[in-house]
A and B are shown apart, each in its own frame.
Chain A
């Protein structure tokens, strides 16, 4: 039933010998531009939907902790953004011993970026000398170090140990200002989170400081 009539001069619905049409280029370019904008505009909501939701942000909200009742030498742990935060009331003896560690530390002045806010760039790494606040997560691979406040030699610790923290996973050690000892797997000092004192000094709010609101 097929009738194939090959017509030698006619060339179908579109003449292939037509000169190139410049208006095609204009409109293809415009269509690509508008289409590109449409594509980006559509992609933005989908990509943004990955960001933490209101629920995640609420769960990460600042935590207020009462600190006036922490006795000297005592450390309290609270949770902020799913991480342990240590609040320690350091004794005068412990504060005095901090300087002695300086030559043994990788970053005694907390110069390395990302772990020490401005108000903690001092020899105590805290706003007030007695109260030390830090995130209790080793800067090596994320285990939580154990407190080792007793001074003197102990298994795994040097003879002149002034007190600090010892990470059981790979042996990193930190002093009582959270500063990491040299030649240990952990590269950085323990992170000091954003925190502020209440007006009367009895509470701190972890998660809020001059730069971070909530």
Chain B
């Protein structure tokens, strides 16, 4: 027939292929998607993140079959799932462990990006979609955590929603609008349920698809930061340093999945509470709007950012203001900003310095915490290193990264502890280190003797 498409496949598959790009998509994204052959351990975490997303969605669907999103019934419905629904306990533990493991996997996945410069041109958009996924994930976890309606659920939600009340002028009204009530209540629970179960999962799925499409459009990075598409090609025009994703990385990722499932199962079957970090003990007390537990802390994966929020006291705003003024001066004298930006940026920084001392520290705490995440979006433009991968940077850069990682972990630890003067000071120093790592990166990433980046990836035959 005229106009009918010709395909290579026959039978049922051929029928589908004439109407839907099934085989061509499988080829484009799996069997003929050439990925660098030198992926290492750090490259497992992308596929693991996708696995955990699927686990959370499937276990989530089954939990929703028995959970009751009503302030009077929610807590008991969770215990109902744990005791009375056949295998309900397993589904619940998979979901709670999966939530924490999602963050473990995503943090390690992002760390890989940091190490190997996977966010650099032409992969900025892959990174941006990724940070958007991270932000959505934080929201998803936050909304989900209210659902068991325990003491931690309730008071954590109360505190975080109150953060919005710190915004000047519109804050308090905004907080009431978010809650649907004057305090966190049944209204809040119902809307957080809708966000957690439907709204954000849809957003997450969309962003993950965009993330992978953007990646496949430009091709994956690798531990050496060498662009395989710019290297030698074989007789078919395929990169010599590339290897088809399927079957090589499908079987490779299967090993990662097996290892991950061992850790996952060990936690679920032998320590689902993880000492109170994965399932917090205070959350086994039903929510009581009249009584705050003596020690609230957010779940472990939020604690580094929580530290930064708590660190931003009135005194600390002096430090931040001072830093803004210093930056203004340095940029004006030594910076190479073009045209109007030469004046505008220092002026803006001076204005920020003034505002830091005018608006309450409470607001700036929120800004610091939010800023710590938002700054990740700008990473592709902050990194001015001539080489992509940490492998070819000066050794002292590696120490800087190590300091950043240790600092992040310390901030995390501090976030779980009750405040005291020493810890507060440590959090403040930690916040400065975290922010400086990014904000000063345009300067420090250029300094030092860089090693020669090879033309071909370093690969040792198995």
**Which of A6-14, A79-87, A101-109, A184-192 binds B?**
A6-14
Q: How far is the CB of A103 from chain B (nearest CB, A)?
A: 49
Q: How far is the CA of A5 from the CA of B238 in the complex (A)?
A: 11
Sample of 13 more A-B contacts, CB < 8 Å, known A49-B88, A49-B91: A2-B229, A4-B232, A6-B237, A7-B232, A11-B236, A12-B234, A13-B241, A46-B58, A46-B87, A53-B66, A53-B80, A53-B85, A53-B86
Pairwise interchain contact A48-B230, C-beta atoms closer than 8 A: no
Interface size on B, residues (CB 8 A): 34
Residues of the B chain whose Cβ atoms lie less than 8 Å from the Cβ of A53? 66, 80, 84-86, 88
CA distance A53 to B85 in the complex (A): 5
Chain A: interface size category: 20 to 34
Q: Which of A2, A11, A49 contacts B62 (CB 8 A)?
A: A49
Do A13 and B235 touch across chains, with their CB atoms under 8 A apart? no
Shortest beta-carbon distance, A176 to chain B, in Å? 41
Digit string of B222-253 for contact with A (CB within 8 Å is 1, else 0)? 00000001111111111111111000100100
Instruction: Tell me if B65 counts as interface (CB < 8 A to partner A).
Output: yes
Question: Nearest chain-B residue to A24 (Cβ)?
Answer: B247
Interface residues of chain A, those whose CB is within 8 Å of chain B, are 1-8, 10-14, 31, 44-46, 48-51, 53-55
| B90 close to A (CB within 8 Å) | yes
| Nearest chain A CB to B16 CB, angstrom units | 23
CA distance A14 to B251 in the complex (A): 15
Report the tally of A-B residue pairs with Cβ distances under 8 A: 75
With CB as the reference atom, state the residue of chain B lying closest to A48. Answer: B86
**Among A5, A46, A50, which residue has its beta carbon within 8 angstroms of that of B232?**
A5
- Min CB distance B77 to A, Å, is 10
Q: Which residues of B contact A2 (CB under 8 A)?
A: 229-230
* A-contact bits for B60-93, CB 8 A (1 contact / 0 none): 0010011000000000000010011111101100
B36 to A, closest residue via Cβ: A13
Residues of A within 8 A of B62 (CB): 46, 49
Contact B237 A12 (CB under 8 A): no
- Identify which of A1, A2, A5, A45 gathers the most chain B CB atoms within 10 Å of its CB: A45
Cβ of B235 and Cβ of A6 under 8 Å apart? yes
- Contact yes or no, B233 A5, CB < 8 A: yes
Q: Indicate whether A45 sits within 8 Å of B235 (C-beta atoms), given known contacts A53-B86, A55-B84.
A: no
**Shortest Cβ gap from B43 to chain A (Å):** 16
Residues of the A chain whose Cβ atoms lie less than 8 Å from the Cβ of B65: 49-50
From the candidates B87, B237, B244, B254, name the one contacting A31 in the complex (CB within 8 A). Answer: B254
Closest to B61 in A: A46
Q: Which A residue's beta carbon lies closest to that of B83?
A: A54
